[in-house]
């Protein structure tokens, strides 16, 4: 992940939890030290860090940051609803109205 007007800056992982912008050639930093982005990495940690970078300290991340197989939010919600429908005793509004305590007015 090299950036800058002259392609002379890069991102390294400082410790295990923080991105750090560095200048190539300073303090012994070479291209071998620079992170390589992998959009297909299942662990989203570094991908989240990239998405949260703020200018001017960091570059603005553009392009595909994360690309992993998995259900979309919409599909996951539909699957959750279908699962609940299968196990619920309440199938319609009448079932709801007749559930719990009821009384007759007469």
In a domain, residue 34? The reply is yes
* C-alpha span between 47 and 37 (Å, rounded): 8
Residue 17 banded pLDDT, cuts 50, 70, 90: confident
In a domain, residue 10? The reply is yes
Rg (CA), the chain: 26
Q: How many C-alpha atoms does 53 have within 13 Å on its Cβ side?
A: 22
* C-alpha span between 24 and 7 (Å, rounded): 9
In this predicted model, what pLDDT tens digit does every residue of 49-78 receive, in sequence order?
999 999 999 999 999 999 999 889 999 999
Structural domains of the chain, count: 2
* C-alpha span between 29 and 32 (Å, rounded): 8
Residue 46 sits in the same domain as residue 78: no
In a domain, residue 16? The reply is yes
> For residue 81, what pLDDT is reported?
94
**Helix, strand, or coil here: 63?**
coil
Give the domain range for residue 43.
2-51
In a domain, residue 104? The reply is no
Residue 7 sits in the same domain as residue 42: yes
Please list the residues that pair with 9 across neighbouring strands.
3, 23
In a domain, residue 80? The reply is yes
Contacts of 19 (CB under 8 A, 6+ apart): 11, 12, 13, 35, 46, 49, 50, 53, 58
């Amino acid at each position: 992940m090299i950036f800058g007007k002259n392609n002379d800056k890069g991102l390294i992982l400082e410790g295990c939890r923080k991105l750090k912008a560095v200048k190539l050639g300073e303090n012994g930093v070479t291209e071998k030290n620079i992170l390589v982005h992998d959009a297909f990495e299942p662990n989203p940690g570094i991908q989240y860090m990239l998405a949260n970078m703020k200018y001017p300290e960091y570059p603005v991340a553009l392009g595909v940051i994360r690309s992993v197989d998995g259900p979309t939010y919409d599909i996951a919600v539909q699957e959750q609803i279908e699962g609940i429908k299968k196990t619920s005793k309440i199938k319609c509004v009448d079932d709801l109205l007749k559930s719990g305590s009821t009384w007759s007015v007469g």
